[in-house]
Structure 1
Amino acid sequence: MATLNVRNLKKSYGSVDIIHGVDIDIKDGEFVILVGPSGCGKSTLLRMIAGLEDISGGEILIDGGVVNGLQPKDRNIAMVFQNYALYPQMTVAQNMGFALEMAGAKRAEITQKVGRAADILGLTPLLDRRPSQLSGGQRQRVAMGRAIVRDPKVFLFDEPLSNLDAKLRVKMRAEIKALHQRLKTTIVYVTHDQIEAMTMADKIVVLQGGRIEQMGTPLELYDRPDNIFVAGFLGSPAMNFLEGRLRAGEAPVLETKAGTVVPLLSAPAQAADRDIVVGIRPEDIAFGTEGDGVPASVTVVEPTGSETHVELDVAGTPMTWVLRQRVDFQPGNRVMLSLASANTHFFDKATGRRL
């Protein structure tokens, strides 16, 4: 296990800047997930940590030692790729032990380490099979086993679950989290899936355009997003946003461009009499009344079993409402909503920053 520190890290391709001075401190044994939309620089950042991409500026430190000039094999890290990268002609045991064999380890040591990793990952009955005889989840476990046998200081995962179906992704999320709790090793994990980030990470780093938008625990980012981008990125379904001008007073209201008046429970003082964006999560919307509610039109109803997702039109703005109870809505129905939640978020329209 090890600490990992990224200091003012930069990456450029010619005159095009990809990573813009990123700083991240990762504690010993911490599970950190880099998340963001495609093209935000998260995989490039991971490959720089691994030594697979040259660094244009800044430093990478593992256990306090700068590793910028070290080859990937000398950094004592192990990387699990999206495509598994298994040798098709080798058995599971041979794939898992190959790196140790290349390092000159003795046969007894290889057998012992492969056996231990196979036991941890439930691969013992599969050691004599080849990758073509395995399911996608089994291949991913073999790729993880190949990393475990090296006993690295840091594990790097590059979107390891993106090739799996939805049900298997859920299962593998739990397996990777359980593996981390058992090994207590330092992990840096890249994904574009914010559900993976929310359910697995000790700390999330949200990236956009090669810059860090926010860093913190999953619930910190979910409950107090720093800006509109983070607020809209984390959460499924995504946070709803209403633009308008806040009219301050004992009972603050948002006046939308469509002329709709939206009563609010409270608002920060700095939001008064300015153009703002109000954010409310789908699960925080409630039924309203004619006296204190906001009219909305139902456009789509999506029952999921445990929940019902209702797509709405509110003052010309599409919104999503998540209900735990069953409802008999039909497209075109008019409903009254209460958006006066204690969990309402307020953002400056010009800057996108939280108020």
Structure 2
Amino acid sequence: MAPVTIQQATKSFGKVTVLHGIDVDIADGEFVVLVGPSGCGKSTLLRLIAGLEDMTGGHVTIGDRDVTNLHPKDRDIALVFQSYALYPHMTVADNMGFSLQMRNVPKAERDQKVQKAAQILDLLPLLDRYPRQLSGGQRQRVAMGRAIVRDPQVFLFDEPLSNLDAQLRVQMRAEIRELHKKLQATIVYVTHDQIEAMTMADKIVVMRGGHVEQIGTPLALYDTPANVFVAGFIGSPAMNLLAGNLDASGTAFVSEKGARLDLPEPISLDGKKALIVGLRPENIKIAETGIDARVRIVEPTGAELHVILDVGGETLTAVLHGRPDIWEGEMIKIAVPHDTLHFFDKESGRRLAIAA
């Protein structure tokens, strides 16, 4: 396995620039997820690493080699796509070993590598089957096996679970994570699903509009989002974001629609008064005294209730643990611990720290 370094990567298609000077360092054996909305440039960045697209500017290094201008086959990488791309007339074993056959690897060595990969992926009983005889999850494991037998320095995954149903996606997330532990592999994984990113990654790269918004561990991004975009993108349900102003005394925030959050003591936020305040849904609690809220929608999920609240004209989502006895249309009181609030500059969207 090997580290990957991306330096000032740019990519343009004609007059349209889709990547704007991307810098990412990926450690040897690290599982890095590129995440962001559709069109943010994450798959394009993966294709630059793979050599499937030529870079307009910048460099890609794998290990100690600058591979910027190398053909994909010379980069020592393996790709797994959302389409399994299995040959229907070949058995599982033949599909997994086909790339080795094309490289004239001796049959005995080829069979050994296929057996080893099949054992890792629990495919040994399926080696004589054809793709049409497999489930979607089994086909995806075969596609991963085809990558493993090549023993590459870097694995590249481009939204490999998007064709699977929800339950199977959860299962395959765990299997890919287990695969990473077994192989100690360097993995770059693209998804638009932030739950996949949060549950699988050692490090997440959040992208938007061809720029990197923030890089960090899943919990670092969740706990200290660098800006409003990351705050709203990472987390499910999404963070509540209220635009408004800190009052002159610094002891209350009043939203544009009139919702008021009183603070226990005056705060200073780099002199900023026009703010966006973030509240994670799980930090909103039912209280005996506090902020008046009307319950609009109650969504039981089993262990939790997802509740849509109207607070002073603002719509807030709360996640309440257990099964509190509330109903739609009811007036309740809520409280939000002040140390769980996130503050952002309304104009720039960047995170603000409370001055000591």
Asked if these proteins are the same fold (TM beyond 0.5), I'd say: yes
SS of residue paired to 1:40: coil
Shift of 1:241: 1.1
* Number of the residue aligned with 1:308: 305
Tell me how far apart the structure 2 counterparts of residues 264 and 146 of structure 1 sit (CA, whole Å). Answer: 57
Map of 1:347 onto structure 2? 344
Q: Report deviation, 1:284.
A: 0.5
Contact 2:8 2:23 in 1 (8 A): yes
Residues 81, 160 of structure 1: 8 Å contact kept: yes
Structure 1: which amino acid aligns with 2:256? K
| TM-superposition CA deviations, 1:288-333 (whole Å, max 9, x none) | 344xx22212111100001110011222222110011202322211
Unaligned 5+ residue runs, structure 2?
none
Residue 330 of structure 1 corresponds to which residue in structure 2?
A: 327
Q: Note the C-alpha offset of 1:253.
A: 1.3
Query: 2-side partners of 1:260 and 1:289: how far apart?
Result: 19
Partner in structure 2 of residue 42 of structure 1: 42
Taking the TM superposition and a 5 Å limit, the aligned residue runs for 1:163-182 are 163-182=163-182
> Within 1, Cα distance between the matches of 2:67 and 2:115?
31
Q: Describe the shift of the 1:353–1:266 C-alpha distance in structure 2 as closer, same or farther (beyond 3 A).
A: farther
Q: Structure 1 232/115 Cα, relative in aligned 2: closer, same or farther at 3 Å?
A: same
1:74-105 Cα offsets, whole Å, 9 max, x none, are 10000000011111111000000000000000
Indicate the residue corresponding to 1:287 in structure 2.
Answer: 286
Distance in 2, matches of 1:171 and 1:161, equals 10
User: What is the rounded CA distance, in whole Å, between the counterparts of 1:136 and 1:341 in structure 2?
Assistant: 46
CA contact (8 A) 1:266 1:342 kept: no
Deviations 1:156-206 (A, max 9, x none): 000011111111111111110111011001000000010110111000000
Q: Is the 1:347–1:354 Cα contact (8 Å) retained in structure 2? A: yes
Q: How far 1:119 moved relative to its partner?
A: 0.2
TM-score in terms of structure 1 length: 0.96
1:263 aligns with 2:254: no
- Note if contact 1:118-1:145 (Cα within 8 Å) is conserved in structure 2: yes
**Quick check: 2:260–2:312 contact (8 Å CA) kept in 1?**
no
Cα distance in structure 1, aligned partners of 2:115 and 2:75: 25
Q: Which residue is equivalent to 1:32?
A: 32
Give the TM-score, by structure 2 length: 0.96
The alignment's C-alpha RMSD in Å is 1.4
Partner residue in 2 for 1:232: 232
- Give the paired residue count: 352
Counterpart for residue 275 of structure 1 = 274
Between the aligned residues of both structures, percent identity stands at 60
CA separation in 2, counterparts of 1:4 and 1:267? 46
For residue 273 of structure 1, report the CA deviation from its aligned partner.
6.1
Instruction: State whether residues 248 and 272 of structure 1, in contact with CA within 8 Å, keep that contact through their aligned partners in structure 2.
Output: no
Q: CA deviation at 1:257?
A: 2.5
Give the Cα–Cα distance (whole angstroms) in 2 for the partners of residues 108 and 99 of structure 1: 15
Separation (CA, whole Å) in 2 of partners of 1:289 and 1:262: 16
Q: CA deviation at 1:268?
A: 5.0
The answer for unaligned runs of 5 or more in structure 1 is none
Take 1:180 and 1:193, find their aligned partners in 2: how far apart are those partners? 19
